[in-house]
């Protein structure tokens, strides 16, 4: 157990933030994976006005969100997306 730093100094606040990051990482690492994948719909050409953004623990789950969103919000048909379409989306997926 670390002693809580003095909250009045800037260094202490940064140290405190690091402590919380360490704690979060420790919790996630019990599951093995600390990776996340994100996608912002507005990054796709022609979708600049769309506010939707998704983050998921796995790329497979993220694709489900993208497909559902495409079908729901943009009347897309994910079943008919070509490998080029999917590659273009994949290029916009960020690992966090």
Q: Report angle CA 56, 61, 67 to the nearest 5 degrees.
A: 110
| Binders in 66-95 for Zn ion, by CB under 5 A | 73
Binding mask 28-67 for Zn ion (x = CB under 5 A): -------------x--------x-x---------------
28 or 40: CB nearest Zn ion: 40
Q: How far is the CB of 83 from Zn ion (least distance, A)?
A: 21
Instruction: State the minimum distance, in angstroms, from the CB of residue 48 to Zn ion.
Output: 10
DSSP labels for 25-44? HHHHHTTS----EEEEGGGS
Sign of CA dihedral 76, 81, 85, 89: positive
């Amino acid at each position: 157990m670390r002693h809580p730093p003095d909250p009045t100094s800037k260094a202490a606040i940064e140290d405190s933030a690091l402590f919380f990051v360490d704690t979060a990482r420790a919790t996630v690492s019990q599951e093995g994976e600390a990776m996340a994948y994100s996608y912002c719909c507005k990054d796709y050409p022609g979708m600049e006005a769309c506010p939707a953004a998704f983050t998921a623990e796995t790329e497979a789950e993220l694709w489900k969100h993208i497909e559902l969103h495409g079908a729901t919000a943009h009347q897309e048909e994910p079943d008919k997306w070509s490998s080029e379409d999917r590659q273009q989306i994949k290029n916009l997926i960020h690992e966090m």
